[in-house]
Amino acid sequence: MTKSEPPSERPDQQRNETYVDHVGDPAIGSDVSLEWLRDLYLPKTNSDRTFLDDGTVVYQAQRTYPPVRQLSPGKRERILVTGGAGFVGSHLVDRLMWMGHEVIVLDNFFTGSKRNVQHWIGHPHFELVSHDVVDPFMIEVSQIYHLACPASPPHYQYNPTKTVKTSVMGTINMLGLAKRTKARFLLTSTSEVYGDPEEHPQKETYWGHVNPIGPRACYDEGKRIAETLTYSYMRQNDVDVRVARIFNTFGPRMSPADGRVVSNFIMQAIRGEPLTIYGNGDQTRSFQYIHDLVDGLILLMNKPYTEPVNLGNTEEYTIKEFAESIRDKVDAKVPIKLLPAAMDDPKKRKPDITRAKRYLNWQPRFSVRQGLQETIDWFKLQAAEGAI
């Protein structure tokens, strides 16, 4: 086992950090101001909302759409995003729309929400389709971002058989579509393919240490077979593929009920409840902000590199440190409560991002501190509106 460095200082104690006000890469047209993105999920005014006397909220019909770049038909891609109404997918859709592309979102709304993409509904370059990727789907596209799969433990353990079917049949269907249309295919895999790793940090060449019959296996092994399918289609059918292994990600539009530590801690702190940690809190994780991940996905899709690429933040924190940071930002009076450890919960998780730096010229730009503040602001806004 590789000896690891001690975890970083707490997120709220970071020093010499730079505030990020612009994201994306000008070379591929994905650069955009943070202010434009914030206007989509942290509006400055309530112009599109009507607060009634009883405290409920009515959303008015949107008259205009967010401004986007205009591309000539020859430069505009027709892009399919499965799971595009979810947390990660909706932010990816925002960026692709900003870039001027035509975007089709496929979602069964098990974990996604129409509200995440409601600001695009009716736009001439946007289409939202209610569909389960377990069933085949026919359309003409030039790129496919395949994100559809429940990714949080409460969701993927709710129906483990369906989770496996989504990973396997959904990936087969989307790879078949890519084969037929000659579209470039990007699979969003996960750091969970490394299981409870014996290598730290984890390189893409590490084969993993996964329990194939544990309660998390429906997701972990499902993603591993999805990667196998992806490279089988590349070798056998010459499908142009990309694979992103995504590490812990947080940001606005996270589901408050998804069971992940960031959303759990923020919601518990807002409600004045104890912050619950499973285990002793010494487990470490590396958390990246959503806009950094979207940058990485778009770069990977538009670069010629075909091997798996880790996308994650190399700043490592214990779960307890993260809980303390969120508590201090929301309500310093709430206690922290330790509960029995979850089965097969990895003790350490940290990416080696050498490939991403070398082949994509990508690395995280947002400090955890800046990302946490935006995420907390979003959760507070949702709570004030009664949306959560």
pLDDT for the residue numbered 169: 97
- Round to whole Å and give the CA distance between 188 and 223: 9
Q: Tell me, yes or no, whether 56 lies in a domain.
A: yes
Token pair, residue 304, equals 């010629």
User: For 49-69, b where at least 16 C-beta lie within 10 A, e where not — what string?
Assistant: eeeeeeeeeeeeeeeeeeebe
Confidence of residue 15 (pLDDT cuts 50, 70, 90): very low
DSSP class of residue 114? G
Please identify every residue annotated as catalytic. Answer: 219
Higher-confidence residue of 107 and 1: namely 107
Q: Tell me, yes or no, whether 370 lies in a domain.
A: no
pLDDT for the residue numbered 195: 87
- Round to whole Å and give the CA distance between 97 and 140: 18
Residue 208, Cβ neighbours under 10 Å: how many? 16
Token pair, residue 333, equals 């009076």
Short-list 67, 52, 70, 48, CA closest to 118:
48
pLDDT for the residue numbered 9: 58
Q: Report whether 302 contacts 359 (CB < 8 A).
A: no
Q: Tell me, yes or no, whether 92 lies in a domain.
A: yes
Percent of the chain at pLDDT exceeding 70: 90
Q: Tell me, yes or no, whether 273 lies in a domain.
A: no
Q: How many domains does the chain have?
A: 1
Short-list 263, 260, 350, 251, CA closest to 293:
251
pLDDT for the residue numbered 1: 43
- Round to whole Å and give the CA distance between 304 and 355: 13
- What mean pLDDT do residues 332-344 have? 87
pTM of the entire predicted model = 0.90
Angle ∠(41,45,50) on CA atoms, nearest 5: 95
For all residues of the chain together, what is the average pLDDT?
Answer: 89
H or E element that contains 92: helix 87-98
Residue 136, Cβ neighbours under 10 Å: how many? 12
Chain-centroid distance, C-alpha 341: 25
pLDDT for the residue numbered 3: 45
Find the domain containing 210 and state its range.
28-248+289-313+351-365
pLDDT at 13 over 90: no
pLDDT for the residue numbered 319: 92
Percent of the chain at pLDDT exceeding 90: 67
Confidence of residue 360 (pLDDT cuts 50, 70, 90): very high
Q: Report whether 276 contacts 263 (CB < 8 A).
A: no
Q: Tell me, yes or no, whether 280 lies in a domain.
A: no
Q: Tell me, yes or no, whether 305 lies in a domain.
A: yes
Q: Report whether 236 contacts 302 (CB < 8 A).
A: no
Q: Tell me, yes or no, whether 324 lies in a domain.
A: no
Q: Tell me, yes or no, whether 388 lies in a domain.
A: no
Confidence of residue 6 (pLDDT cuts 50, 70, 90): very low
Q: What residue type is 83 in one-letter code?
A: G
Angle ∠(327,363,232) on CA atoms, nearest 5: 110
CATH number at residue 307: 3.40.50.720
Instruction: Using CA atoms of 11, 16, 18, 24 in order, give the dihedral in degrees to the nearest 10.
Output: -70
pLDDT for the residue numbered 349: 84
